[in-house]
Amino acid sequence: MPDFDLADAPVRELNAMLHALPPDTNETRWSIRNPGGKHAIACGLDRAITVEIAGHVGYYCGGMNKHATILIDGNAGVGLGENMMSGEVRITGDASQAAGATGCGGLLVIGGNASARCGISMKGIDIVVMGSIGPMSAFMAQAGNLVVLGDAGEALGDSIYEARLFVRGSVASLGADCIEKTMSAEDEAALAGVLAKADLAHVPTKSFKLYGSARKLYHFHVDNADAY
């Protein structure tokens, strides 16, 4: 297992090595020590490898991930797993703002809390937060599933499209065009699938409430002008 110490070499060197891996690499498990809150660690990966990071990371860790599994033992700065395509990013601690923003696929699991704007403009990613999320989360969320075992802050799902938001705790307030919905069998199956992927199959789906789009802002209507 390659062992890389960020106390001795820059992030640019690490990322260059990871990007240069051939498709048939046998160096499929990497250990990263002393991340020291540095930014853009393990960004843009395009191989089915596992990267284990021992410590706190800065901005955009795991951004643009494709195929890789990135495991972070610590907290993360802004934009964790931003614009993910596939693969997994898992963190044991808390995440700052915009975790999973614009994610198109894959799985992001946050072991602690997530700050404001978690999952903004998500486009197919599955995000699981074991703690609570901050305000304006899932703003303009288009597709995918956001699963929150704790509470949600103000303006959840503002201007949401077709993403599904499952919250186990309380919601401070809902954003424009976001409403509580009755959970169908299809919705419950989707939630169960995401929980299983996050190793949380033991958490009962019936303990969540579902929030989604009221579909009143898809087209302009003068009666809704104040909501735009």
Question: Region 1-14: what's the mean pLDDT?
Answer: 96
Residue-wise pLDDT tens digits, 83-100: 999 999 999 999 999 999
Q: What is the pLDDT of residue 220?
A: 66
| Torsional class of 39: left (φ above 0), alpha (ψ -120 to 50), beta (otherwise) | beta
Tell me the C-alpha distance between 164 and 127, whole Å: 11
Q: What is the pLDDT of residue 216?
A: 85
What is residue 33's DSSP assignment?
E
The answer on pLDDT for 145 being more than 60 is yes
Task: Confirm if 159 and 175 have CB atoms less than 8 A apart.
Answer: yes
pLDDT > 70 fraction of the chain, expressed in percent and rounded? 96
Tell me the C-alpha distance between 17 and 115, whole Å: 31
Q: Which domains does the chain carry?
A: 3-221 (2.160.20.60)
pTM for the whole structure: 0.95
Mean pLDDT of the chain: 96
Q: What is the pLDDT of residue 30?
A: 98
